[in-house]
Structure 1
Amino acid sequence: MASQSIFERIGGRDAVDAVVSDFYDRVRDDPLLEPYFEETDMDQLRSHQTQFISTVAGGPVDYDGDDMQTAHEGMGITEDAFASVATHLEAALRANGVPDDDVEAILTEVAAMKDDIVEA
C-alpha cells in the first residue's frame, strides 16, 4: 500500500480549509501584516491559499494562481513580514492538529519560496 500524503494524513480538504481559515484570522490580526491585505479579495486569496497548501501537502489539487514571484511582485514584502507569515502558518498548522513532521515539511516548502516573495 502506498504511503499517504500529508494532505491525506491531516484530513484532506476540510483540514486544509480549517488551517487556512485560522491562518488568515491570525494574519489579519497582525499589525505588521494588516496593510498588505487592505485591498485584497480575501475570498480569492483564501481559495488560492487552500490550493497552495493542498498542493504543497501532496493533495489532488492543482494550484492555478500566479507563480509566487508574480503574485507578490510590487508588494514590498520584507523579511520580517515573511517571517511573521511563516510563524502564523506554523501556529495555524499546529493549532489544527497537524503533526510536527508534517508541519516542518510544509514550512520547508514555503521557506524555499522566500526569494520569490521577499523584495530587497
Structure 2
Amino acid sequence: MTTLFEKLGGAEAVDVAVDRFYERVLQDDRIKHFFADTDMVKQRKHQKAFLTYAFGGTDKYNGHHMRQAHKDLVSNQGLNSDHFDAVTEDLMITLKEMGVNDDLLAAVAAVAAAPQHKKDVLNG
C-alpha cells in the first residue's frame, strides 16, 4: 500500500513543502508572533520529521511530545483554536500552490486537523 508520504512525493516534497509553509507562516499576522524567538532551522527539521511520521513515511518520531512542545505557547502566549486553524490553512494553501490534487489535500487535512492533534497542541 502506498503511503500518503509517498503519494505526496516523499522526503524531497516534504522538505520543499515545509520550507514554503514556514515562509507563509512567518508572513501570517495571525500566527507569526509565535515564531519570533524560534530557531527556524531547528523548527523546520522538527516539522519535517513530524510530517514524515504523520504521513506514513516512518513509524518512528522522536520529537517532543505535542503537549509539552506547545504548553508554554498555550499558557503564556494564548495559543488557541484559531491559531491552530491558521497553521492548518497555511499548510493547505502551500500544498495547493505546489500542485497537490484535491484528493491528497483532503487526506492531508484529515491528518493535519485531526481532533487528537488539535487537542494535543492546545493542551486540551
In the superposition, the TM-score normalised over structure 1's length comes to 0.89
Structure 1 residues 4-83: aligned runs within 5 Å: 4-60=2-58, 62-76=60-74, 77-83=79-85
The answer (yes or no) to whether the contact 2:50–2:61 under 8 Å persists in 1 is yes
Q: Give the Å deviation of 1:119.
A: 5.4
Q: RMSD across aligned C-alpha pairs, in angstroms?
A: 1.6
> Paired residue for 1:86, among 85, 88, 92?
88
Q: Which runs of at least 4 in structure 1 moved beyond 4 Å after TM superposition?
A: none
Share of identical aligned residues, percent? Answer: 36
| Amino acid across the alignment from 1:73 | K
Could you report, residue by residue, the CA deviation over 1:21-72 in whole angstroms, capped at 9, with x for unpaired residues? 1110110001121110011111111001001111111113632111111110
Gaps of 5+ in 2: none
Change (3 A) 1:9 1:119: closer
Contact residue 15 and residue 96 of structure 1 kept, 8 A? no
Bigger helix share: 2
Please, what TM-score do these two structures have when normalized by structure 2?
0.86
Q: Displacement, 1:96?
A: 1.6
- For 1:52 and 1:106, locate their aligned partners in 2 and report how far apart those are by CA, in whole Å: 13
Give 5+ residue unaligned stretches, structure 1: none
Structure 2 distance, partners of 1:70, 1:24, is 21
